[in-house]
Structure 1
Amino acid sequence: MAHATDDKNFRLSRDVLPRRYVSTVTLNMDERTFSGSQTIELEVASPTNEIILHGISLQLSKVAFRAGSQQRTPVSIQPMAQSETVVLRFDAPLPTGAAALDVEWTGLFTTGLRGLYLAGKVAATQFEAADARRLFPCFDEPAFKARWAITVRVPTQPGLVALGNGAIVSDTTEGNLRTVKFQEMDVLSSYLIALVVGPLVGTPEEQVNGVPVRTWALPEKAHLTRFGQDAALAALPRLQEYFGLPYAYGKVDQVGIPDFEAGAMENAGLITYREVALLLDPATAPLSVQKRVAEVVTHELAHQWFGNWVTMVWWDDLWLNEAFATWMAYKIVDSWRPDWRVWLDFDAGKAAALHLDALKSTHPIRGEVRNAGEAGESFDLITYEKGGAVLRMIEGFLGEGPFREGIRQYMRTHARGNAVADDLWGALGAASKQPVVELANAWIGQSGYPVLAVKQEGRQVTLSQRRFYSEPGVTSGERWPVPVVLRFEDGDGVREQRFLLREERATVLLEGSGEVRWLCANAGSTGFYRVAYEGTALEKLASNLKALAPSERIALLADRWALMRAGQASAAEFLDLASRFGGEEDDAVLEELVGRLGYVELRLVEGEHQERFRRWVEKLLAPGLTKLGWDSAAGENDRVKLRRAALVRAVGSLARSGQTVAEARPRVMKVLGGDKAALEPNLLDSAVYMAARAGDSALFDLLLEKMKTDPDPATQRRYLTALASFEDPALTKRGQELFFTDAVKMQDVTIYLGSLLNNRTGRDAWWQVVQQRWKDVVARTGGAPMLLRRVVEALGSLLNRKQLEEAKALLQAHPVTEAQQAMAQTLERLSQDVELRERAGPDVVSWLKRQP
């Protein structure tokens, strides 16, 4: 007879509930094996003759059930591969009430980057979404919260540090084994449990409101921990104040793990990070790296409340965890470092989500998740960035005060428990007296977003909405409640007006008097929608660029670009608009401009036309670089440094200006020789890339050596991607050969794959290798779900119709089953890129010929 556990969509029943785990695990790091023994204190809620635990590749030996004075052993212990469970069957129903289950088992470290694995010399765990079952037999679903008392036994090696969720309460040695017992943790879901064991060094302990904070790394990287420590010290009190709740987990340890799948993981009290997301030297780190570390640290700390203290019931609400932490991180970092203008970086993430969400193969923020494998597919831009943008849009509509009060109410009501999205909407609605449930569920449950057509005649503005698709000619009839914030200038100055557009079309009368000089229909760019200005409205904006906020100028460019992709505007119209930005002085706006122009240069023109386009870019933007020069003046602010970086990227990397490339090489050689002052840190990425592209074998050898030995993770990554960028054919091939060696860590495989596919000299040959060795390419990920997704997404770098057809054939013949969504999205986006190349390429060429 088939058992329910034969189904991979199997979910645990509520017949048996865990209340407390008392676990001891013994690690043999040389043999990569472990053994464990634990008592799970249970409540048997209704009579049953079986207990089902999750477990993958665990060999259970002794199992005993205890209730009152009776003890029973199961008549069978059956592992079920499909549902990743172990079924313990007893010969009669178990008595209801309090009970205990004793289990002993053995297992192996995993070879990928999940469960318990070895990252160099460090043993680390990564359990989200559902890999606690690779180390513990447990109830491995988020709704099954329990207390955890964990002890770890490790070899007695000098310098070996053992970290757990709780503080260490005892540390004893007997023979060649050391026993470390951790403070018992308040109720937690299994995916938030963690262990890290290795030769680590920590910052001195510092306290925030009585909470000890330390940041850990390998000894050779200990000098890179200060910034991440400071970010945590800045974020913790701000988060406590926002939530109106103290931090619940006793201490904060942050650890840089040498090989790690995600950016970081919010394990309660023991946050683990990819090294590049935690460790840096502020003297040499580009501002983008500093901001990224601050944002990731704050994101993970926000989860200690939103996710850990109040946890989703099931993975279909994963988006709520991630979207909230994404939005919250920017809010907190912005209050710590307002000069960083991090909301403009948030907009860059939102832009990537808008791009993805305009595909037919997109998905709603909240979708059905039937099993843990599908949960792994949910870690994408829609979940994080669109989710965060929708929360920001709702906050913008409700106001900061009512929004925060709603969040606090939600945290109080569901403390230490589980909740669903509607619980949050209810709390926000109660606090704001606004139709939050209607607003939120329309945006969360429905994929896509609208484009607003805006027609302005005097003070009358006509708004109409339809779903936006990036594929020309595709239409559908969905509608949204769109919280529109209009910003405009008239005789009385600049003002804002709010309007909730529920219908397909509505007319708004602008308040005030006098002539309307310009109108922006997405003030501050906080709305998750595109805007198509009709008639003279676009020209008015283009003629008043300086009156717009940087975020609004970015949105103006991005929306015109999107309309061009969708066949609703021509490439010539976009380039005409881009031409107006030659004097742009805002670094974030320049980054947007350079990104779009880089796409044109890479994908829409070739041969002599590509060269002509590069010269046009140089003419547009080189004067700005000439004015600034390469060296920063004493006391120069970050805005100027970042503007210079954007211009170097435009003139050197994109336009390939001979003068700029010649300036880069000797400076890069000085940096490689140890002179860190030879290049302002924000120029490092572009300068190293330019030097590598035109580099010789001596430079290749030097970068390879430095990549392996430099302790700074951002520097290592910079040199790694540079090794994929050499355009000398022999060196291009050497770069490709590195892919299948240990020189490229598992965590970096997908970054390197994408860099190789972006190499113009080597792309075609490398693509042939990728097709021939696809199974080996996929195997380099170790089966890590996020890395599998990114391997598929890297194929989006292919260029022409022949390669598109080959990619389709490859994924059809050898699908990556863990990345179904990514396969559909990547192929759809690539086919649109190819179609755009064929449609818009001639338009760009005609436009170039008309330029003086």
Structure 2
Amino acid sequence: MAHPTEDKNFRLPTTVRPQRYAATLTLDPGAKSFTGQQTVDVELSAPTREIILHAIALQVGEVIFRSGATQLKPSSIRPVEASETVVLGFDAPLPQGRATLEVAWKGPFTDGLRGMYLAGKVVATQFEAADARRVFPCFDEPAFKAKWALSVRVPQGLAVLGNGPVVKEEQDGAWNKVTFQETEVLSSYLVALVVGPLVGTPAQLVGGVPVRTWSLQEKGHLTRFGQDVALAVLPRLQDYFGLPYAFTKVDQVGIPDFEAGAMENAGLITYREVALLLDPATAPLSVQKRVAEVVTHELAHQWFGNWVTMVWWDDLWLNEAFATWMAFKIVDQWRPEWRMWLDFDAHRASALYLDALKSTHPIHGEVRNASEAGESFDAITYEKGGAVLRMIEGFLGEAPFREGIRLYMRKHARANAVKEDLWNALGEAARQPVEELATAWVGQSGFPLVTASVNGHEVTLSQQRFYSEPGVESAEKWPVPMVLRYQDGSGVREQRVLLRDKQAKVTLEGSGAVKWLCANAGSTGFYRVNYDKATLAGLAANLGALEPAERISLLADQWALVRSGRASVADLLDLAARFGDEEDDSVLDELVGRLAYVEGRLVDGEDQARLRAWVERLLGPSLKKLGWQATSSESDAVKLRRAALVRAVGGLARSPDALAEARPRVARMLKGERDALEPNLLDASVAMVARAGDAALFDTFLQKVPGEPDPATQRRYLMALTAFEEPSLTTRAQDLLFSETVKTQDVAGFVSGLLANRTGHDAWWARMRKQWKDVIARTGGAPMLLRRIVEALGMLRTRADLEAVKVLLKDHPVSEAQQATAQTLERLAQDVELLERCGPEVSAWLERQA
């Protein structure tokens, strides 16, 4: 009979639980290896002949079990590859009660960006979801919380950071032994170590908690902004939760090569450098906002995730959705002028897009093993989850929602919880049937399309599940919390409706003719709206009365209706034509995003040139009026509008005038003239100039990449290398993927850039098919990067491409990206169908504009 551990879905028995780990690691960065010794205090709820620990690629040495006067060594130590465990077998039953388990082991650094690995000159760990087992033989499931008392031996001269503050340092020849303060109880995935030639800002206290931000020495001047964000948002988070920060210190560290954006390790938050380090004098506002959002997201996790932790990975969304929503809420409180909720809406768009596929998944879905847990880090878990929490907060009210969160934190402090625990706390605080609302949205995949039509003061609402594939239907329904905003003879009003049924009629309050009606006020609902012809015409004629978020939703929903075959692309383009005088940068970005898809995927040749000319006629006058040179008194809103217009006219429309303006400015910027380009224009201008650039410019960018200290600037130059359209340069860029120029963390982005190149993508796609194993190997096996490589294939365009992708992923499946494979194939099939269906209609529409 097979042992249970032979099943890859094996879960640890709860009869043996860790209470405390006391471990010493000796790291040898030169040999890329480590040794370890630990004593684990355990509690046995029943006698057993086995103790099962997780371990990958670890060579377990001597093991001793002690309980009172009993001392036993295992008769067998059996690694099991399927479940990533090591089974310690004993000849006699181990007694119930408290005991200790002493373990010695050794292991290698990981080649990829997980476990313990070398990121340039820095040794870093990344354990979520289930990679603590690559460094410690441990109980590597989130429900097995324990205290961690760690010591680390490293070569002298390196900074050593752990979850707790350093309590002792001892010199031992060429070695330095650092002992950290014992932690609060933590799940193993939240333990972390960082070792390297790092420098930190001076410690600054927030309510007695020291906060420091760390980087490589040459990037120390870029740490101030991330430090200031932490100092600003930590008190706001403590106030929201009504609980002090629990983990003795906050260290934030920029890691030179890092898979995710950041990781919320308790007290030691690790970041991809571009998500933490910047110079506010030269960083675009989008980069500043992104850093603030990521820092706040990770600090929110210190409560939601670290203090109260999910029992198992099916409730990962409890961590990520909450931190996503909370980050925008807190940064919006700190910097209201940044209009963070518009950025939230842009992020949510990716979840709406994904959730319209048949291959989507619920926010809370079955996760059978650690590998499947890795696939849960997607837009559904983060963005849809955050949007649903925002919707529930809007339904319950801010104060009852916060009281429910505080109650949840108090009830489950230092412990684990499941989604029902959250619903119960929110329901108790708000005295509302939260579970009905939450269960439908969290347990059911997809979302509704709400159809709205106005007749006098009566609104007819109906709902059905929205699929982006034409003709697909299913019978689900949701309790849809809606806010209707409209204007009649008595002014602009709002009315709340909970649409429980498939159809309902609502009488609007007020008097006089209804001039317009928006059925998703403020765009806070996670649904799309299909307006009848007259209601849509009323909105189109009164765009200025709508909030920016509502104008964005109007465009996004109409585009979704085109994709699903419910609306014509000509009607969408007619609507887009009404946005020529749009002044809001976020709305302009939505407009440009929709038009860029049409230009890139639905037209070719002469039609492509016609569309570009039409875009330049639509938005060029606004750019000409505004000009490229910022004034000293200019607001951020004006700077961002200019940047959006440059992306539209220079990037999408490929205006020769815009290119002529950008070229000398980029040349001056490359010589060090800071005022040559306003920071918000940097990305669009560099990409535009690179696209038309020559070998000399290619060499300039290539030479700047390795030595550039600012991570956003370095990435800008790196990605520019994928944009050159001169054929010989596209080949050179493709070669770079297999060189040290492209760090592991940047592989997926670089592949996407090569696939987006208009003159090089066919050759690159042919090369990808031939060298698929080499491309996959460049990710180092990092699950997030593997998924993004697969998703990048969705950028291909034709039916022949679709068939080739099917063959490639069938013959060479990426096991870590099964979900992404299904979604990419479905999305690409829809894109191909859309091209075949709408291409002729776009062509006819463009002829009418001449």
Are 2:86 and 1:66 aligned?
A: no
Residues 717-728 of structure 1: pairs in structure 2 closer than 5 A:
717-728=715-726
Cα displacement (A) at 1:535: 2.9
The unaligned stretches of length 5 or more in structure 2 are none
Distance 2:95 2:361 in 1: 45
Q: Which residue number corresponds to residue 654 of structure 2?
A: 656
Q: Could you tell me which amino acid in structure 2 is paired with residue 286 of structure 1?
A: P
Q: 3-state DSSP class of the match of 2:510?
A: coil
Counterpart amino acid of residue 793 in structure 2: L
Distance (Å, rounded) in 2 between the aligned partners of 1:70 and 1:282: 62
Number of the residue aligned with 1:532 = 530
- Secondary structure at 1:49's aligned position in 2? strand
Letter in 2 for 1:155: P
Give the aligned partner of residue 416 of structure 2.
418
Cα distance in 2 between the residues matched to 1:662 and 1:804: 38
Counterpart of 1:277, as a letter, is A
Bigger Cα displacement from structure 2, 522-531 vs 485-494 = 485-494
Partner of 2:81: 81
SS at match of 2:720: helix
Find the counterpart in structure 2 of residue 135 from structure 1: 135
**The residue matched to 1:93 in structure 2 has which SS?**
strand
1:638-666: per-residue Cα shift (whole Å, max 9, x none)?
11101000000100011011010111111
Partner Cα separation in structure 1 for residue 718 and residue 569 of structure 2: 35
Query: What is the number of equivalent residue pairs in this alignment?
Result: 850
Q: 1:835 matched to which residue of 2? A: 833
Other structure's SS at 1:256 match? strand
Q: Provide the C-alpha distance between the structure 1 equivalents of 2:699 and 2:130, rounded to a whole number of angstroms.
A: 41
Task: Report the equivalent of 2:548.
Answer: 550
2:363 is aligned with 1:378: no
**Distance in 2 between residues matched to 1:174 and 1:469, nearest whole Å:** 64
Give the deviation of 1:809 after TM superposition. 0.7
Q: Residue type matched to 1:625 in 2?
A: L
The residue aligned with 2:574 is 576
Matches within 5 A, 1:686-705: 686-705=684-703
What residue in structure 2 maps to residue 165 of structure 1? 163
CA offsets, 1:749-802, max 9 Å, x none? Answer: 000000000000000000000000001111100000000100000101111111
Q: Which residue of 1 aligns with 2:319?
A: 321
How far, CA to CA, are the matches of 2:424 and 2:493 in structure 1? 32
TM-score, length-scaled by structure 1: 0.99
Cα distance per residue 1:226-279 (max 9 Å; x no partner)? 000011011100000000000000000000000000000000000000000000
Counterpart residue identity of residue 339, structure 2 = R
Q: Give the corresponding residue for 2:108.
A: 108
State the superposition RMSD in angstroms: 0.6
Q: Deviations over 1:150-170 (max 9, x none)?
A: 0000011x3x10000000001
- Counterparts of 1:143 and 1:303, CA distance in 2: 16
Equivalent position amino acid for 1:50 in 2 = E
Q: Deviation per CA, 1:96-139: give whole Å up to 9, x if none.
A: 11100001111000000000000000000000000000000100
Q: Offset of 1:834 from its aligned partner? A: 0.9
Counterpart residue number, 1:559: 557
Amino acid at match of 1:262: A
Structure 1 segment 398-413 matched on structure 2, within 5 A: 398-413=396-411
Q: Does 1:294 align with 2:317?
A: no
Q: Which residue of structure 2 lines up, in the alignment, with residue 94 of structure 1? A: 94
Separation in 2, partners of 1:716, 1:248? 36
Cα offset for 1:434?
Answer: 1.4
Q: CA deviation at 1:584?
A: 0.3
Secondary structure at the residue paired with 2:56? coil
What does residue range 629-648 of structure 1 map to in structure 2 within 5 Å? 629-648=627-646
Partner of 1:736: 734
Q: What is the aligned partner in structure 2 of residue 273 from structure 1? A: 271
4+ runs of 1 displaced by more than 4 Å? none
TM-score (norm 2): 1.00
Partner letter of residue 824 of structure 1?
A
Give, in whole Å, the separation in 2 of the partners of 1:771 and 1:672.
36
User: 1:778 is matched with which residue: 772, 776, 779?
Assistant: 776
Q: CA deviation at 1:26?
A: 0.3
TM superposition shift of 1:707: 1.1
The Cα of 1:512 is off from its aligned counterpart by 1.5
The CA deviation at 1:505 is 0.2
Q: Using the alignment, how far apart are the partners of 2:107 and 2:340 within structure 1?
A: 44
CA deviation digits over 1:698-744, x for unaligned, max 9?
10000001111110100111111100010111111111110111110
- Structure 2 distance, partners of 1:695, 1:337, is 38
The question of 1:602 aligning with 2:594 is answered no
TM-superposition CA deviations, 1:316-351 (whole Å, max 9, x none): 000111000000000000001000001000000111
Query: What's the counterpart of residue 39 of structure 2?
Result: 39
Aligned-partner SS, 1:186: coil
Q: Which residue of 2 aligns with 1:826?
A: 824
| SS of alignment partner, residue 267 of structure 1 | coil
Q: Deviations over 1:175-196 (max 9, x none)?
A: 1110000000010000000000
- How far does the alpha carbon of each residue in 1:440-463 deviate from its partner, in whole angstroms, 9 at most, with x for none? 010011110010110100100000
In 2, the alpha carbon distance for the partners of 1:488 and 1:707 equals 52
Q: How does 1:141-156 map to 2 (within 5 A)?
A: 141-156=141-156
2:54 alignment partner AA: H
Deviations 1:406-456 (A, max 9, x none): 000000000000000010011111111111101001001111001011010
Counterpart secondary structure, 1:624 = helix
Measured in 2, the distance between the counterparts of 1:434 and 1:510 equals: 24
More off after superposition, 261-270 vs 65-74: 65-74
Larger displacement relative to structure 2 (631-640 or 143-152): 631-640
Q: Which amino acid aligns with 2:540?
A: A
Aligned to 2:466: 468
> Structure 2: how far apart are the matches of 1:494 and 1:456?
16
In structure 2, the residue matched to 1:711 is: 709
2:662 maps to a residue whose letter is A
Q: Using the alignment, how far apart are the partners of 1:453 and 1:17 within structure 2?
A: 53
Task: Give distance in 2, aligned partners of 1:27 and 1:636.
Answer: 52
Give the letter for the 1:811 counterpart.
Answer: L
Secondary structure of the residue that 1:476 maps to in structure 2?
coil
SS of 2:392's partner is: helix
Q: Deviations over 1:48-87 (max 9, x none)?
A: 0110011111111110000111211111111111101010
The reply on whether 1:19 has 2:23 as its aligned counterpart is no
Please state whether the residue corresponding to 2:177 is helix, strand or coil: strand
User: Distance in 1 between the 2:403 and 2:724 partners?
Assistant: 54
Separation in structure 1 between the aligned mates of residue 106 and residue 815 of structure 2, nearest angstrom: 29
2:48 matched residue in structure 1: 48
User: Structure 1: how far apart are the matches of 2:480 and 2:803?
Assistant: 39
Q: Deviations over 1:586-621 (max 9, x none)?
A: 110000001111111100111011000000000000
CA distance in 2, matches of 1:320, 1:539: 41
Identity, in percent, stands at: 70
* Structure 2 counterpart SS, 1:25: strand
SS in 2 for 1:228: helix
Q: Is 1:343 the equivalent of 2:341?
A: yes
Question: What is the CA–CA distance in structure 2 between the aligned matches of 1:559 and 1:410, rounded to whole Å?
Answer: 36
Aligned to 2:172: 174
Hey, what does 2:248 align to over in structure 1? Answer: 250
Please name the residue that 1:621 is paired with. 619
1:444 maps to a residue whose letter is V
Provide the C-alpha distance between the structure 2 equivalents of 1:549 and 1:426, rounded to a whole number of angstroms.
35
Q: How does 1:512-527 map to 2 (within 5 A)?
A: 512-527=510-525
CA distance in 2, matches of 1:475, 1:95: 58
Which of the residues 222, 232, 235 maps onto 2:233?
A: 235
Q: Report the secondary structure of 1:90's partner residue.
A: strand
Residues of 1 paired with 2:468 and 2:112: CA distance?
Answer: 36
Distance 1:283 1:698 in 2: 28
Q: Deviations over 1:516-561 (max 9, x none)?
A: 1111000000000000000310011111111100000000000000
- The residue number in structure 1 matching 2:586 is 588
